[in-house]
């Protein structure tokens, strides 16, 4: 099944008018990083550098001493963090913003420099920067308010080599006095928009400029704005343990710390304010369904680990015959609105150009199939996986992803063959176990579904899709209490898991 990958976090630091001795006296320091040019990516990201510049300008107007990095390698990020740590004194407000690629590994989120050499999961911990470690160091230097804003929930360029078993970013275990915001929900990823600025930073800048909003209100209003503007497709995640009130701008709009420029007063939308104790803000209730279907998460590989024996298979009800593994011509019909929209997607354009130049570019075919699957264009995804497998019949990732895509659209017999072949080639492949578990769940083979999900969870206990799927299968098998516990744990780790399974036709 799909592994959602890519990461987003946000850091923000507010200073409160009601406590002038703290707000006025405390130093404000910020490190702002925009990484766009990753050599491993097909093309540079369009948003991070512009977002970093605009946010840095705003923070300077709000009295922050800002260090800005663009397209920073590991050494540059390390030196910049050391400079940040050196500026912190007791009571300092410290803010970190990162836009680029992030990876979740071993239940932690890592910010990735542009020169990272990542071929296996251990390389993430070697070359990446743990957000928890950064916040812990800031706290250890005596910072009073710690804010992290992370816009890193993009599908990363390393997934062809290895994939973590949980996509997106991990929840942060942060010290008291910390406010963290990801630009998307835990374990969720969003595509680079191709625009000059991200929706997340656009909404964030609007709210920062509103005077006398607490930091928590600023971020809650940002979350509401992003959710509404994206029609509930992108729901930022917030965690707060602030013990001090903090505002970016106090008094009239022109009354900024350190003599900042005046701004137009903006009326914020109503939003709930979390308590000053540790809270995790759940996504708002979804609005009415939009005319276009919401994209389902794309299938992503998970880390390979030596594991238990594979689970038994199911024999699903008959389904349409298998599609041919040879390339098939496009039907002679007018393209749908989805196909038109996908043709304009910058990633699809780039990959399609590579395929036009070399029809046997297996990497481009596979990656375009992933993009199509992430957009819900499963027929197009399956065609690309067909061609990938035609070129390399032993491509277990393509076999698994085709199994998953076929399962979602109900082609259960052919999907089962794909999953079984992937597991024959790579026994205990966690992705294929997860995909086959979904297949068994959809076919009503609950016992076999539980066995597959059990095997997957032994390899990766935090695989939310297997945890939620096992909960459903247990409930359907009569183990209501055990099933409810699995479902509750899965929802706690990823609030979007229910919507994900509904998009697969599983409730």
CA distances to 156, 182, 198, 228 from 234, in Å: 17, 11, 12, 9
In percent, how much of the chain has pLDDT > 70? Answer: 74
CA 167 to chain centroid: 6
Are 162 and 46 part of one and the same domain? yes
Query: Which is nearest to 251 in space by CA: 207, 217, 215, 209?
Result: 209
User: Would 311 be classed as within a structural domain?
Assistant: no
What is the maximum alpha-carbon separation in the chain?
Answer: 73
The pLDDT assigned to 328 comes to 41
Round to the nearest angstrom and report the end-to-end CA distance of the chain.
Answer: 16
Contacts of 445 (CB under 8 A, 6+ apart): 314, 315, 316
Residue 367 has pLDDT above 60, yes or no: yes
Are 168 and 74 part of one and the same domain? yes
Residue 21 has pLDDT above 60, yes or no: no
Instruction: Compute the distance between CA of residue 473 and CA of residue 445 in angstroms, rounded to an integer.
Output: 9
The pLDDT assigned to 254 comes to 40
Give the pLDDT confidence of 385-401 residue by residue, as tens digits.
999 999 999 999 899 99
The two three-digit tokens of residue 77, written as one number: 């990020």
Average pLDDT, the chain: 79
Are 274 and 342 part of one and the same domain? no
Residue 329 has pLDDT above 50, yes or no: no
The pLDDT assigned to 336 comes to 59
User: Would 299 be classed as within a structural domain?
Assistant: no
Give the pLDDT confidence of 165-219 residue by residue, as tens digits.
456 788 888 889 999 999 998 878 887 666 788 999 999 999 999 988 999 999 9
CA distances to 61, 135, 192 from 69, in Å: 18, 18, 20
Residue that finishes a domain, picked among 264, 281, 298: 281
Angle between helix 199-208 and helix 215-229 axes, rounded to 10 deg: 140
User: Would 314 be classed as within a structural domain?
Assistant: no
DSSP category for residue 311: P
User: Would 332 be classed as within a structural domain?
Assistant: no
Q: Are 274 and 216 in contact (CB under 8 A)?
A: yes
Contacts of 468 (CB under 8 A, 6+ apart): 486, 487, 490, 491, 497, 498, 501
Residue that finishes a domain, picked among 239, 259, 281: 281
Contacts of 239 (CB under 8 A, 6+ apart): 171, 172, 174, 178, 179, 180, 181, 278, 279, 280, 281
Instruction: Compute the distance between CA of residue 308 and CA of residue 492 in angstroms, rounded to an integer.
Output: 26
For range 153-164, the mean pLDDT? 68
Are 253 and 363 part of one and the same domain? no
Are 274 and 353 part of one and the same domain? no
The pLDDT assigned to 341 comes to 65
Contacts of 39 (CB under 8 A, 6+ apart): 114, 115
Give the pLDDT confidence of 462-485 residue by residue, as tens digits.
788 899 999 999 999 999 999 999
Q: Are 155 and 40 in contact (CB under 8 A)?
A: no
The pLDDT assigned to 412 comes to 95
For range 221-227, the mean pLDDT? 94
Instruction: Compute the distance between CA of residue 20 and CA of residue 498 in angstroms, rounded to an integer.
Output: 45
Instruction: Compute the distance between CA of residue 24 and CA of residue 15 in angstroms, rounded to an integer.
Output: 8
Are 73 and 193 part of one and the same domain? yes
Are 232 and 345 part of one and the same domain? no
Are 94 and 242 part of one and the same domain? yes
Residue that finishes a domain, picked among 281, 302, 327: 281
User: Would 354 be classed as within a structural domain?
Assistant: yes
Instruction: Compute the distance between CA of residue 28 and CA of residue 16 in angstroms, rounded to an integer.
Output: 13
Are 262 and 351 part of one and the same domain? no
Which of 404 and 32 is assigned the larger pLDDT? 32
For the chain, what is the domain count?
Answer: 2
Are 248 and 344 part of one and the same domain? no
Strand pairing report for 145-151 and 178-182: parallel
User: Would 221 be classed as within a structural domain?
Assistant: yes
The total number of residues shown for the chain amounts to: 507
pTM, to two decimals: 0.50
| 3-state SS class at 201 | helix
User: Would 434 be classed as within a structural domain?
Assistant: yes
Q: Which CATH number covers residue 159?
A: 3.40.50.1460
**Most confident among 238-247, 342-351, 410-419, 422-431 (mean pLDDT):** 410-419
Are 224 and 88 part of one and the same domain? yes
The pLDDT assigned to 452 comes to 96
Residue 289 has pLDDT above 60, yes or no: no
Are 346 and 237 part of one and the same domain? no
Q: Which CATH number covers residue 425?
A: 1.25.40.10
Q: What is the CA radius of gyration of the chain?
A: 23
User: Would 324 be classed as within a structural domain?
Assistant: no
Tokens 């496009």 -> residue? 330
Structural domain of 459: 338-503
């Amino acid at each position: 099944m799909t592994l959602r990958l890519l990461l987003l976090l946000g850091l923000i630091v507010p200073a409160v008018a009601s406590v002038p001795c703290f707000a006025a006296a405390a130093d404000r320091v910020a490190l702002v990083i925009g990484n766009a040019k990753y050599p491993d990516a097909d093309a540079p990201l369009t948003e991070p550098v512009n977002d970093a510049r605009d946010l840095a300008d705003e923070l300077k107007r709000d009295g922050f001493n800002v260090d800005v990095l663009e397209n920073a390698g590991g050494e540059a990020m390390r030196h910049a963090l050391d400079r940040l740590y050196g500026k912190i004194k007791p009571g300092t407000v410290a803010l970190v913003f990162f836009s680029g690629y992030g990876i979740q590994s071993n239940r932690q989120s890592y910010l990735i420099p542009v020169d990272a050499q990542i071929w296996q999961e251990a390389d993430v911990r070697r070359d990446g920067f743990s957000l928890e470690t950064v916040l812990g160091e800031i706290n250890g230097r005596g910072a009073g308010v710690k804010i992290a804003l992370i816009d890193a929930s993009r599908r990363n360029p390393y997934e062809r080599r290895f994939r973590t078993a949980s996509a997106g970013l991990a929840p942060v275990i942060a010290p008291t006095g910390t406010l963290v915001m990801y630009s998307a929900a835990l374990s969720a990823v969003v595509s680079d928009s191709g625009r000059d600025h991200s929706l997340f930073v656009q909404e964030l800048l609007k709210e920062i400029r509103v005077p006398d909003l607490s930091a928590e209100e600023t971020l809650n209003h940002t979350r509401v704005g992003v959710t509404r503007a994206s029609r509930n497709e992108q729901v930022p995640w917030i965690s707060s343990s602030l013990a001090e009130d903090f505002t970016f701008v106090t008094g009239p709009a022109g009354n900024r710390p350190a003599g900042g420029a005046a701004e137009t007063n903006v009326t914020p939308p109503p939003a709930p304010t979390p308590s000053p104790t540790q809270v995790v803000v759940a996504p708002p209730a979804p609005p009415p369904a939009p005319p276009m279907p919401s994209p389902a998460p794309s299938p992503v590989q998970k880390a390979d680990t030596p594991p238990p024996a594979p689970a038994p298979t199911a024999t699903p009800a008959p389904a349409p015959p298998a599609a041919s593994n040879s390339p098939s011509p496009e039907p002679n019909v007018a393209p749908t609105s989805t196909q038109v929209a996908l043709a304009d997607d910058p990633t699809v354009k780039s990959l399609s150009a590579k395929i036009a130049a070399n029809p046997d570019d297996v990497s481009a075919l596979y990656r375009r199939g992933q993009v199509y699957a992430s957009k819900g264009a499963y027929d197009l995804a399956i065609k690309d996986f067909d061609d990938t497998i035609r070129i390399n019949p032993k491509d277990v990732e393509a076999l698994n992803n085709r199994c998953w895509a076929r399962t979602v659209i109900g082609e259960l017999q052919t999907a089962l063959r794909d999953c079984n072949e992937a597991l024959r080639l790579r026994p205990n492949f966690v992705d294929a176990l997860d995909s086959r578990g979904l297949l068994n769940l959809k076919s009503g083979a609950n016992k076999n579904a539980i066995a597959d999900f059990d095997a997957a969870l032994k390899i990766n206990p935090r695989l939310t899709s297997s945890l939620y799927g096992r909960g459903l299968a247990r409930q359907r098998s009569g183990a209501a209490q055990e099933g409810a516990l699995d479902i509750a744990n899965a929802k706690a780790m990823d609030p979007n898991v229910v919507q994900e399974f509904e998009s697969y036709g599983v409730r």
